[in-house]
Amino acid sequence: MTDKMRLVKFLVYGCQMNFAEAERMEGQLRGIGFESTEDAEQADLILMHTCCVRETAEDKAYGKIGEIKRLKREKPSLLFGVTGCMAQKESDALIRRAPHIDFVLGTGRLGELRRVVEELLSEREGDCQHIVDVVEDGTLPEEGLPARQGAVSAWVPIMYGCDNFCTYCIVPYVRGRERSRRPEDILREIEDAAAKGFREITLLGQNVNSYGKDHKLADFAELLTMADKVEGIKRVRFMTSHPKDLSERLVAAVREGRHICEHFHLPVQHGSDAILKAMNRNYTTEKYRELVRAIRREVPGASLTTDLIVGFPGETDADFETLLDFLREIRYDAAYTFLYSPRSGTPAAKLDGQVPDEVKHERLERLMVLQNQISLEQNQKLYGTVQEVLIEGTSRTDENIWTGRTRTGKIVLWPHQEGECIGELAQIKITQPQTWVLKGERMEG
Ligand code: SF4
């Protein structure tokens, strides 16, 4: 099985969790002699790891699935698998719609990839068989170490699934209930990443704050503290934090940690209590304000970023103005802004009061103008300060400019100097704060 090198082409869509899962799938495939390629024409296996958070993501995936039919015609030995959220949701309907798909693996079955591919390869000579492996609530895949991309930052999933059922979100239906990995498995993986030269890890989950509620071996604050002690790791990050589960213990762990970065990504989604209730977010703006006060009191200088949804069903002009006021009050360092789009299969898609598209776009535009202004003002406060930056590599547009991040997660650009290496920490003086980046110069020594 392993004597012949085969090539796999990954097509990965969606969130950071999907990219982290693709690395783990690649790790499994390496064990049976696969290398990855960028060229689909050369591939022996094409693996599409899908997202279905938005209806448009699904339409795009179907378009891509259609394109792969030609490759299968030209190279009948080519294997084609669809995995992840859309595979979970559509299951064997995918094969009915596109019979050139060889296998479908749901979100809880990614650990079966190696077995399924081996099975199909051994049957290639005979009749083509379809495999569909989708379970309602998957077990935890401890499928070996990932084949990591990059050289500095490693993503480490700590839990899978979500119990929260926000009314706009399909994730709990396709990723199942929360399942936490065991702390020793996570730590082993972080140690392995450190031994391979990675300097930063990001602990990943749909809601990391509820880590360990199932197995009770450690809570998230304890896990963070353990990760902080792994030799060689200089930075520990985490995402995403649900505000309803953010604990004082977690804030204290960030304050006390040596390598735990002072950055909280705390999605508020909206600034109106009526909309938060309709979203089933399970906190009020007042409770959220208390969290922000605690973070700023206990971890001075921490950055705060968020996600916002504009145009949720029932959002009135007054709700929207309340959201703008909330942003003026909280003053986030940055916000990821989204237009609400109905996702079939979620309760919000059936709510009355869907907001017309032009109104949504107009509100989003106003929101972005305001947030960009706030982000710029937040960054301007850093003018003249010296920031510790982890060097990530060269800028995409200019190889003489280097890029890295502050502990607070802000992107910094500066002219490359002799002797600087990726993965090192550098002291950069901020000379030109902008809306999305900080430009600076390296301090001697
Ligand atoms: S917390 Fe809400 S938005 Fe996040 S994955 Fe779970 S249901 Fe979706």
Q: For 304-363, write each residue's pLDDT tens digit.
A: 999 999 999 999 999 999 999 999 999 999 999 999 999 999 999 999 999 999 999 999
Q: What is the pLDDT of residues 120-161, one digit of tens each?
A: 988 765 455 777 877 766 666 656 789 998 889 999 999 999
- Segment among 55-64, 200-209, 232-241 with least mean pLDDT: 55-64
Ligand 1 binding pocket includes 412 (Cβ within 6 Å): no
**How far apart (Å, rounded) are the C-alpha atoms in residues 327 and 366?**
12
The secondary structure element, H or E, covering residue 183 is helix 183-195
CB atoms near residue 47 (< 10 Å)? 26
Whether the per-residue pLDDT at 88 is higher than 50: the answer is yes
Q: What are phi and psi of 140, to 5 degrees?
A: -85, 125
**Looking up tokens 């949504």, which residue turns up?**
360
Of the chain, the percentage scoring pLDDT greater than 70 comes to: 96
In this structure, are residues 348 and 168 in contact, taking their beta carbons and an 8 Å threshold? Answer: yes
Average pLDDT (295-303) is 97
Q: In what helix (H) or strand (E) does residue 263 lie, and over which residues does it extend? A: strand 263-265
Domain 153-378 has CATH 3.80.30.20: yes
Distances (CA, A) of 380 to 328, 334, 340: 16, 13, 31
Residue with tokens 């690395």: 23
Question: Which residue is it, tokens 């799938």?
Answer: 25
| CA 207 to ligand 1 center in whole angstroms | 7
Rg (CA), the chain: 23
How many CB atoms sit inside 10 A of residue 314's CB? 16
Each domain of the chain, given as residue ranges in start order, spans: 6-133, 153-378, 386-442
How far does residue 330's CA lie from ligand 1's centre (Å)?
A: 22
Same fold, 6-133 and 386-442: no
Nearest protein CA to atom 4 of ligand 1, as residue: 206
Can you give the pLDDT at residue 124?
61
- How far apart are alpha carbons 445 and 433 in whole angstroms? 22
The tokens 């002009």 sit on which residue?
317
Neighbours of 307 (CB within 10 A): 15
- pLDDT tens figures, 375-402: 999 999 999 999 999 999 998 889 899 9
Measure CA 436 to chain center.
19
Whole-number pLDDT of residue 1:
47
Phi and psi at residue 6, in whole multiples of 5°? Answer: -120, 160
Interatomic CA distance for residues 270 and 273, integer angstroms: 8
Nearest atom of ligand 1 to the alpha carbon of 240? 4
Tell how far the Cα of 334 is from the centroid of ligand 1, in angstroms.
Answer: 20
Fold classification of 6-133 (topology level): Rossmann fold (3.40.50)
Check pocket membership of 272 for ligand 1, CB cut-off 6 A: no
Q: Which CATH architecture has domain 386-442?
A: Beta Barrel (2.40)
Nearest CA, atom 1, ligand 1: 164
Ligand 1 centroid distance, CA of 167 (Å): 9
One-letter amino acid at 155 equals W
Closest atom, ligand 1, to C-alpha of 165: 7
Is the beta carbon of 363 within 6 A of some atom in ligand 1?
no
Peptide bond into 50 cis (omega under 30): no
pLDDT computed for residue 138 by the predictor? 61
pTM as predicted: 0.92
Whether pLDDT at 15 is above 60: yes
**Average pLDDT, whole number, for the chain?**
93
Q: Is the CB of 166 under 6 A from ligand 1?
A: yes
d(CA 428, CA 384) in angstroms, rounded, equals: 10
C-alpha of 137 from chain center: 21
Please give the helix or strand (H or E) that residue 366 lies within, else none.
helix 357-380
Q: Which residue bears the tokens 């970023």?
A: 305
The DSSP element (H or E) to which 133 belongs, if any, is strand 131-133
What's the gap in Å between 51 CA and the centre of ligand 1?
A: 14
Q: Distance between CA 285 and CA 320 in Å, rounded?
A: 14
- The pLDDT value given to residue 400: 92
CA 47 to ligand 1 center in whole angstroms: 26
Rounded distance between C-alpha atoms, residue 273 and residue 318, angstroms: 12
Tell me the CA distances in angstroms from 317 to 270, 322, 329, 350, one per residue in order: 13, 9, 18, 21
